[in-house]
Structure formats: C-alpha cells, structure tokens
Structure 1
Amino acid sequence: MPTPRKITQKQYETLAAFRFALRQFLRFSEQAAHGAGVTPQQHQALLAIKGFPGRAKVTVGELAERLQIAHHSTVGLVDRLTSEKLVIREACKEDRRQVHVSLTKRGERLLEGLSSSHQEELRRIGPELRDLLEEMAGPKKEK
C-alpha cells in the first residue's frame, strides 16, 4: 500500500471549502424538492429516468444502479412515484420479467421546474466549485 501524501493546511482548507459548497448545493436541492412536494430521493429518481442516456425509460434495475440503492428499495420508490402519478411502469415487451419506468406529463412538468431552479443555483455557485476543483487538482502539467 503506497504511503499517503502529506496534506498541507491549505489543502485541508480547500477540501473543507469544497465539501461545504457541495453540502450547500445538496441542501438547496433537498429544500427545492420538498417545496415541489416530493422527497429528495423522488426528485433524484425523476432526474435519473429523464437523464438516462439514449432513451426515455429505464428498468427498475437501472434506476436502482443510478440511485445506488437496493432493488427492493427502488421498487418501493417507484410504487410511491406511481401513486403520485409522476411515473408509469410497464412490462418490457422483450423480457416480461423486466419493468420499464418512464415519466408522466405531470412528472415531466415537476422535474422541469426543479431542474430549472437547480441550473440557476449551479450558475450561481459554479465558479466557486470550479475554482476549488482546480485548486485541488493542483498545477496543470505542460504537454
């Protein structure tokens, strides 16, 4: 196992500032979700479905992977989103054992409002996050 590098006080301060900025964004996101009438996890699920590369629906397994939660927890989450009419589920035509989940029009509208406010917040804090990331990465190497 390699010996850990010595961390300077400035590096600790930068890591702490970065962690603080991330936590502020996450807190903003949590409050925005609650303000829209959903839980932060429900918001994350809607975003994971809409933002899945290449298609507008995901399997429950893919959603579990994207959210980094257990399959059975994802099933419960999809049940709650379905009862709120934010998503629909349908059996996969090719493999009836799999279930696809996609957003309803209501889910799309809710997610669009949340995503718009999140983009505004990221525009506001983006420069600070970028500066902190660059500082943590250290000097750029010449090619």
Structure 2
Amino acid sequence: MMPNRRPISKSQYESLAAFRFSLRKFLRFSEEAAGAAGLTPQQHQALLAIKGFPGRDYVTIGELAERLQIKHHSAVGLVDRLVLEKLVQRVASAEDRRCVNIRLTSRGEAVLEELSALHREQLRRIGPELSTLLQGLGQ
C-alpha cells in the first residue's frame, strides 16, 4: 500500500524541473570536459570511481562494474581500453593472486586531476543555484 502523500505544488514542480535542468547542464559540461581530455564520459567515470573508491586507491572489476552500474563483461572491456590508453594498470592482488586490482597509472592520475579540478570549479559556480533549487523542493 502506498503511503499518504501531500500533493506536489506547482512551485515544487518548477523547482524539480529546474534542478533536473541544472543537473543535465552539469552532465553536459562533464561529458564535454572528458571529450576535451581525450576520454569518453564512461572512461572519466571509471577513473573517478577507481581513485574515489572508499578506503583504497584500487578496485576489482566487480567493484568497478557496480560503481558504474554496468555488466561485468562491459567493465572488462572498459578496463581493456583504459589499459591500452595507459590510464590504468592491472595489478595482481597481494592477498589473492587469482584476483586482479585496477589502479590508475601516473598518466591516469594526471588526466583525472585536471578533470577533477575543472569539475570542482564548475560545482563551486553552480552550487548555490543547486542549493536554492533543493530548498524549493522541500516546500
């Protein structure tokens, strides 16, 4: 059974639509920045998922697939392409030699650092707008 909900007001619809528009503009910015750096948006997301993984600086293929919400075999293909571009490397796990960890190379670190600085600046610019829009959703 669905819980009883208050109706959504016109101003909330407007805030939600504006928030979605702002998110889409940010995603377009991100896609274009990745392209300018010679990456696909998914390759950029993969580098960020690896570097930003909680508690360590490597991931397994399964963890990467989960973070990117893609199938395991798609993550394998993505990593293959990133290895060819010398952005990541496969490293045998010290704990279990059957497992392979995916780490950024120094080139991958440099590309991600540049892209992340651009994204941080863009978020600083649009952050106040997003905050205002989110507040409008709570009305």
Give the alignment's TM-score, normalised by structure 1. Answer: 0.92
Moved more, 96-105 or 124-133: 96-105
Residue aligning to 2:97: 96
Distance 1:34 1:13 in 2: 31
Distance 1:69 1:11 in 2: 32
CA offset at residue 12 of structure 1? 0.8
Q: Quote the sequence identity (%).
A: 68
Distance 2:63 2:97 in 1: 16
Residue aligning to 1:132: 133
CA offset at residue 4 of structure 1? 4.6
Q: How many residues align?
A: 138
The CA RMSD measured in Å over matched residues stands at 1.1
Residue aligning to 2:42: 41
Residue aligning to 1:141: none
CA offset at residue 53 of structure 1? 1.2
Give the alignment's TM-score, normalised by structure 2. Answer: 0.95
Residue aligning to 1:51: 52
Letter in 2 for 1:136: L
Which protein, 1 or 2, shows the higher relative CO under an 8 Å CA cutoff with sep ≥ 6? 2
Q: Does 1:87 align with 2:88?
A: yes
Residue aligning to 2:117: 116
Residue by residue over 1:64-121, the C-alpha shift from the partner in whole angstroms, topping out at 9 and shown as x without a partner, is 1111111110000000000000000022232233210000000000000000000110
Residue aligning to 1:105: 106
Structure 2 unaligned residues grouped into runs of 5+: none
Distance 1:4 1:97 in 2: 51
Residue aligning to 2:26: 25
Distance 1:20 1:101 in 2: 34
Contact conserved, 1:48 with 1:63, CA < 8 A, in 2?
yes
Letter in 2 for 1:66: R
Moved more, 88-97 or 57-66: 88-97
Residue aligning to 2:79: 78
